[in-house]
Amino acid sequence: MSWADRPKIEQQSFAEAAGAAAAAAINGNQAQVRQAQAQPMVAARPIHQSVEQFLKLKPPKFTGRGDPETAPRWVEELEKAFDLLGCTEAEKISLATYQLQDNAHDWWKAVKDRVFPENMEQTWTILVEHFYGQFFSESAQEKKMAEFMRLRQGSMTVVQYEAEFTRLSDSPQGWLRIRWIKLEDSGMD
């Protein structure tokens, strides 16, 4: 596809990203240059198109009931879809909250304005942090932490051990890192 054939909005997104990188380079701020280069150039799309593409992937719904392990698994499944679709922060929040049902939907209606007060930047990370606070309890996190701390290779192959290590430690939003910070802050590290 030639440059002229690309949608106008995609051309503008590219131009804006290039302009941001150039401005940062002129100002000598290498961190801004790297950040501008790392930003995906996602053309704005109508929300109905985002929803349609998202729902074609058959993402899981979340009710807020049952095993607390379903909360991080739900987040991980959504993040796979978000990565595939190249979702913006706003799309992630809209699409994820659309998948909340029953208790989880009631929770979101009750806390939405506290999670994202007026004029506050709405990010996926903030939503997930609050979501975990409600649906991935401290005791479930502690259980997962204990399982991680007891992990030994033993008779597992390196590949099996790596997979188990990743399963226990590579949480979608760094719950393990957050948990360590809480332990350090409490003097229990």
- Distance CA(146)–CA(5), nearest Å, equals 55
Lowest mean pLDDT among 19-28, 135-144, 149-158: 19-28
Q: Which of 111, 112, 114, 110 is nearest to 94 (CA)?
A: 112
- Average pLDDT in the chain: 74
Domain boundaries, the chain: 3-38, 47-136, 139-185
Percent of the chain's residues with pLDDT above 90: 39
What distance in Å separates the CA atoms of residue 176 and residue 179, rounded to the nearest whole number? 5
Per-residue confidence (pLDDT) for residue 169, from 0 to 100: 67
Q: Residue 168 pLDDT more than 90? A: no
Residue with the larger pLDDT of the pair 174 and 12: 174
Lowest mean pLDDT among 2-6, 123-127, 132-136: 2-6
Confidence label for 54 from pLDDT (cuts 50, 70 and 90): very high
Q: Determine the residue type at 128.
A: V
Question: Which residue did the predictor score with more confidence, 163 or 26?
Answer: 163
Residue 9 or residue 158, greater confidence? 158
Flag whether pLDDT at 39 surpasses 60: no
Q: How many CB atoms are located within 10 Å of the residue 132 CB?
A: 23
